[in-house]
Structure 1
Amino acid sequence: MSSLDPTTRESAWHVFLAFLRLGLTSFGGPIAHLSYFRLEFVERRRWLTDRSYSDLVALCQLLPGPASSQVGMALGLCRAGWPGLLAAWAGFTLPSAVLMILFALGVARYQGIVESGWLHGLKIVAVAVVAQAVWGMARSLCTDRLRVGMAFFSAVATSVLPSVVGQMAVIIFSGLLGRWALKIEPASDQSPCSYPVSRRTGTVALTLFVLLLALLPMWAAASNSPLAVLLEGVYRAGALVFGGGHVVLPLLQTAVVQSGTVSTADLLAGYSAAQAVPGPLFTLAAYLGAMADGPLGGWVGGFAMLAVIFLPAVLILVGVLPFWESLRYRKDLQASIAGVNAGVVGILLAALYDPVWTSAIHNRWDVAVTLVAFGLLVVVRTPPVLVVLLVGMAGWAMAR
């Protein structure tokens, strides 16, 4: 077990191995990933305190991009510097990226994969894993009646306004209400993560983030190149995703379907598979890159699009971290973050129903299998990998 001493450092290789384990076993989407990260790095390895981890999660929930991946990259940066950031990203992302590229190559060759029963089973188990994670995060982040009420209000509001604008409005409202109504003591732990990023480096990263967001559309419009359109669309999708990885679907649809790069049916097949494999949902971009026609395709296209969609997430994270460390101790900011956390629980509760539940549960047998999977995870504490295998086989059997 590692010490909570913030001066303790790991090698990039050890960081890679730690995140590779999670990249191979973290099913269920962003909320589940954050729960797995907490178990691994707060409770088991003791890389940081629960308070520091909650603060980091709150920051990444406020930023555009894949929150769980950004939390992982920040932890890698804290423990092993810049090589640690890359190691954490690679360990957590590459297993699912490779699976998604292989799936893309399989879909291109065998169209029957899209309708297979085992894929439906994997979507069912994702419901159980996400439900388990929502329950755990709610117990940790909604510790009084006011925050429970804020979470339920956020869930209702997000269901009524299922859009990026609605989600951002809920997050902003939750933060303002938290600052006004919650009484939170400022962080007092003496072992926060220390990020080796200067304010100058942060400013450069933020500037590059904005420049790419502005210049890539100009290049795509001026050149009228399919490759430029694809790169611009995928970067924009990674830069403008708020409220969870599921929001990336409509953004990527605009980037690849309307341009004729990938069909709607193939996009939805990849989206279903991305929910069923471990790791971040953003690896859907690797699937789309592998499916794309033109100068990029196959393995090269898959890894190229994977890098493009994660680039804005890295830039915005590195840009904000040096300023965040000087603000995280303010009492009013801590109250706002507590409110945001309660709001995010509500947003994720709404997402558990739509699209996770609605896309996977179609009849009473699906409900029964979901309840069994949830019981195995929460009551029996069966390893998620085993539950995934069992429910995948159940889905295959029900389709026979």
Structure 2
Amino acid sequence: MRLIGWILGLVLMLGGAAEAAAKPAITDARLGVEPGLTRVVISLTQRSDFKVFTLADPYRVVIDMSEVDWKVPSGAKLQGQGLVAGMRYGLFKAGTSRVVLDLMEPSEVARAEFVAPANGEPLRLLVDLRPVPDTQFRAQLKSNTVAYRAIAAIAPVTKPAARTLTTSSGSGAGTGALGGSAAKQPTEEPKRGKPLIVIDPGHGGIDPGAIGSTINEKQLTLAVAKALKKELEDTGKFRVLLTRSRDVYIPLRERFGLAREKGAELFISLHADSHNNPLTRGASVYTLSEKASDAESEALAAKENKSDIIAGVDLSKQSNVVSNILIDLAQRDTKNMSTRFASLLVRELKEQTMLLGNTHRFAGFAVLKAPDVPSVLVEMGYISSSKDEALLSSSGHQKKLARAVRQAVENYFSWQELVRRS
């Protein structure tokens, strides 16, 4: 009986510890409008460390919290009201969840604090916004302060404190908080010798990408990236790294920066598109060019390049070297290699899926701007097409796409070997 009692006590103790260590959960997020004020209301199961700051160009308010569980649709964009044009939320980096408010006009944070549960309402984080002139908004950024230091409003908690908010050494405009640097992925360093392929699952975390009726782009790209990684590693010929291995946002410059840092010989960015015309469907392959091959490619590049803005990344401190990498700085050999791989990839994709007309296209995708790593961006189909979405949601079709890319990679390196020998 003593043994049974001891075991029961241990189980209860462990269960209580697990409950105490559980992350806070956000159960609701909504907006309210009063004259001259817009209120953001976020319902949580327990308190979380948080910081609130503003970003310009475009006007945004960002709320960073220690990592929480999302009990509302992850990555969904709420209908705007008042000063808020739209609202997004998701995992920004390991240990940090983020809410981004797109503003209709420059605004200040007039209030940011927790309100205790009362009258059937759960614990809530309230953030009040008031309109201000553009000059005042930008002065706030230049002084690296915000009107309200939200972190100071957190009252002592009786439960063990949630995980402390991880901060970046980079500066965030008007915050002193996170500078938009994504956490290093705990990826095992590949052994040297074999060619290194970096696979980039597009979007992630707070940025869902294209949204379909059954799947989001960020989910699809990660699933295919993992399948492709396995395909390549199973050949025994390649080393493979993913820019992200879970649902987290990675800034665009860090994606191709990883490929350069690790000495990758090929960079493949995976995406899925959406279109106003639901009949538009098919896969396509893009390589970098200063001049887009057509207006649609130019529009697509502009849309994809907004990912950092969507995720609430501060681009104001980004150096001209990074943000304006000129095409003529890219090695001629790198561009030729990218084009060669793209042509091999189109040939293999043609055997496995429907292709968009003029399949190999050119545009100024920011994620392809590594000047010394051959790079392509693959749009695997259109989530806005019911037929494409059904295929892309199928694990069988995802594996077909992965096999096609793997075969193109093998053909590419076989071609390189022939060139070297000749």
TM-score (norm 1): 0.26
More strand by share: 2
More helix by share: 1
- The structure number with the bigger radius of gyration is 2
TM-score (norm 2): 0.25
